Amino acid sequence: MENKFGTAKTELVFRQYADMIYRIALHNLSNSSDAEDILQEVCLTLMTGSPPDDEPHLKRWLIRVTINKCKNLKRSYWQRNRESLEDYTHLQAPERPGIPDEIYKLSENHRNIIYLYYFEDYTVPEIAEILGKNENTVKSSLQRARKKLKSILTEEESN
């Protein structure tokens, strides 16, 4: 795995053309995640392949490699056989009421306990088992979280 340019030159070339490579991949694939994957693959090819030394040929080489990688991805078994999540939107659970922003002002521990208790309808013993804590600890944390949440709500009402 010998790098023809050397690490510094490869990094410089990649930084110079990364936006162009990403845009070409995005245009060909219409998916930002796939375009990011192609960007990484082109970088690996730049590091391990035999790119031309002169600037105009290098740019054309990168464009060609990007387009070929996009074509390979489109032909891949994974790409041909995957389904969009959009096809399954009818299977979504009914919307639950949104989580109030005030809950995010609690500590992570209190927030998790409140969420599990009120939004996921777990009991205290179940929460204790999920979080690996003692039931009494969960009860006291739930009580503290309620008090803290109440103070946050009353504070915001007064503002």
pLDDT digits (tens, 9 = 90+) for 23-44: 999 888 888 899 999 999 999 9
123: containing domain:
101-158
In the 8-state DSSP scheme, what is residue 92?
P
Residue 47 in contact with residue 10, Cβ under 8 Å?
yes
pLDDT reported for residue 152 = 85
Question: Considering only CA atoms, which of 47, 51, 59 is closest in space to residue 17?
Answer: 59
Work out the average pLDDT over 66-90: 76
Work out the average pLDDT over 52-61: 87
CA distances from 153 to 79, 93, 137, 139, 147 (A): 49, 29, 24, 21, 10
Domain co-membership, 13 together with 47? yes
90 pLDDT higher than 80: no
**Structure pTM?**
0.50
Domain co-membership, 71 together with 137? no
Classify residue 123: in a domain, yes or no: yes
Confidence of residue 66 (pLDDT cuts 50, 70, 90): very high
Q: What is the largest CA-CA distance in the chain?
A: 71
